[in-house]
């Protein structure tokens, strides 16, 4: 019995030493100490997707194709325009995904607001 406790004790020491040598693979982030820039947004464009799947552009009901054209116009404007995309919890992702796809392909920033 005493030899068994010696083996367990040696194994415990071995695992304690080897566990301190293992370094986890972590991502090194350089976080700025202080915010030096403020992002200035000229305007927001409100787009809403209803639970039924209807689209609203600045509180006016529009079709999906006219909404896509409006997003393309936003990307061509010289102002820093962001899209505030408001979706209801009942809205399907199939209705929201085309807006996000067009905005991403034309480089328009989208802020998602789920209610």
Residue 79 lies in a domain: yes
Residue 33 lies in a domain: no
Q: What is the CATH number of the domain that holds 50?
A: 3.30.420.270
Residue 19 lies in a domain: no
Adjacency order of strands within the sheet including 43-49? 60-62, 55-57, 43-49, 81-87, 110-114
Residue 37 lies in a domain: no
Helix (H) or strand (E) holding 113: strand 110-114
Question: Mean pLDDT, to the nearest integer, of 55-72?
Answer: 91
Token readout for 71 is 């997003």
Instruction: Give the model's pLDDT for residue 21.
Output: 65
Question: Mean pLDDT, to the nearest integer, of 104-114?
Answer: 85
3-state secondary structure of 104: helix
Is there a contact between 115 and 86 (Cβ–Cβ < 8 Å)?
yes
Residue 60 lies in a domain: yes
**Number of structural domains found in the chain:** 1
Residue 70 lies in a domain: yes
Instruction: Give the model's pLDDT for residue 37.
Output: 64
Reply yes or no on whether the pLDDT at 84 is more than 80.
yes
Residue 62 lies in a domain: yes
What is the distance between the alpha carbons of residues 24 and 20, in angstroms, rounded to a whole number?
A: 10
Confidence of residue 89 (pLDDT cuts 50, 70, 90): confident
Residue 34 lies in a domain: no
**pLDDT tens digit sequence for 21-57:** 666 665 665 666 766 666 565 678 899 999 888 999 9
| Structural domain that includes position 103 | 43-114
Reply yes or no on whether the pLDDT at 66 is more than 70.
yes
Instruction: Give the model's pLDDT for residue 69.
Output: 92
- Looking at every residue in the chain, the average pLDDT score rounds to 82
């Amino acid at each position: 019995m005493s030899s068994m406790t010696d083996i367990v004790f040696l194994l415990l020491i071995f695992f304690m030493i080897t566990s301190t040598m293992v370094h986890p693979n972590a991502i090194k982030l350089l976080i700025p100490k202080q915010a030096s820039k403020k992002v200035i947004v000229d305007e927001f464009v409100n787009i809403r997707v209803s639970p039924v799947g209807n689209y609203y552009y600045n509180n006016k009901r529009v079709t999906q194709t006219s909404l896509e054209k409006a997003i393309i116009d936003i990307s061509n404007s010289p102002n820093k325009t962001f899209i505030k995309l408001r979706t209801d919890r009942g809205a399907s992702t199939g209705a929201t995904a085309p807006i996000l796809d067009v905005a991403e392909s034309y480089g328009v920033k989208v802020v998602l607001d789920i209610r």
